[in-house]
Amino acid sequence: MERILTQEEINALLRNARDTRAAAAEARPKRKASPFFFGKASHISKQQVRDIAQLHEAFTFDVKHQLSAYLQGNVEVNPMSVDEVPYSEFTQSLPAEIFLFTFQLQPPDAVAIVSLDFPFTYALIDMMLGGDGQASVPARPATEIEERLIQNVLDTVICDSLQAAWREVAQVHFSFRQAHRPADLHRLMPPHEKVLFLSFEMRMGEVFSTLTMAFPGAVSSLLLRKLAKRNARAHSLSRAPQAELGERLKNAVLPVEMLLPSTRIRGRDLFELEPGQILQIGHPVSRPALMTVAGRLMFVGYPIRKGRQRGSLIQQKYAVPYPSEGVSE
């Protein structure tokens, strides 16, 4: 015979079920929720980090030799990191005392942000004005003359070297745009926009600083697309039988050039130049030249003469090591 529950018994069963669920919920560990900004999500892979680092090897080499020749002193430029971060995180990573500038990029119509720490920059200014590069950081804002001197270095060395390095994958024109105060940082880009963040160590003797660059998302996307296309072409070529490809290359005629890093010559020396005179170009004989094969840097060596022909004494294959421990992945 079926037993019919009373209303009091039904209520007791419901209360017991509720108490059981509440006890189970109390026993479960509590999970914390926090806001998530999709703009912070990074899409840059380890392979893309390596590709960007490799692309800027030529940039570090060129800047190093241009500044060394210009200042008649030894300047070291070493890569530090490659990352894709929100702009707000980039601004927080910068020190308070920096020279801040923007570059104009065409195409796309975009602006890149460049900063230099004070110690190296004032040492650089001191050497350009005839000093020994041991100047201390003054307790005052930079003067207009000091800013103009740095602007000239950025426009003629940094911009030109970046443009030459990127030419391998994209025809982008770099030009100096404007100097800014550090207080302007927060209005140059939206805080959550992802930027391609590159940093390089600049060292001269015992003085060193950090050169940082931030490229907006449009530029980062363009660069990554171009690098992907280059890698796809290289991958398709690698599928060809290696032996057959090697035999074809043996019979190919490739253009070879030996290049000296850029240097500066006074206009007076050029105007007064006569046939038979020697023009000193400011490149020490102890520093090697670069050899390109089919437009790509391949070797480092010294110009020589062999019989009645010019030649090159190859010292090493061209490669600037990009330290993996300094690359943010």
- Is-contact 135 122, C-beta < 8 A? yes
Helices (H) and strands (E) in the chain, counts: 10, 10
> Which is higher by pLDDT, 313 or 14?
313
d(CA 316, CA 319): 8
Lowest mean pLDDT among 13-17, 27-31, 47-51, 268-272: 27-31
**pTM more than 0.85:** no
Average pLDDT over residues 183-191: 91
Per-residue pLDDT tens over the stretch 109-161: 999 999 998 888 898 888 888 888 787 888 888 888 888 899 999 999 999 99
> Which is higher by pLDDT, 282 or 122?
122
Q: Which CATH superfamily does the domain covering 39-228 fall into?
A: CheC-like (3.40.1550.10)
83: helix, strand or coil: strand
Per-residue pLDDT tens over the stretch 67-101: 888 888 888 999 999 999 999 999 999 988 899 99
The single-letter code of the amino acid at 296 is R
According to DSSP, the residues that pair with 105 across neighbouring strands are 110, 174
Output the pLDDT for position 254. 85
- Is-contact 312 293, C-beta < 8 A? no
Per-residue pLDDT tens over the stretch 286-326: 788 888 888 788 888 888 888 888 888 998 887 654 444 34
State the span(s) of the chain assigned CATH 3.40.1550.10. Answer: 39-228
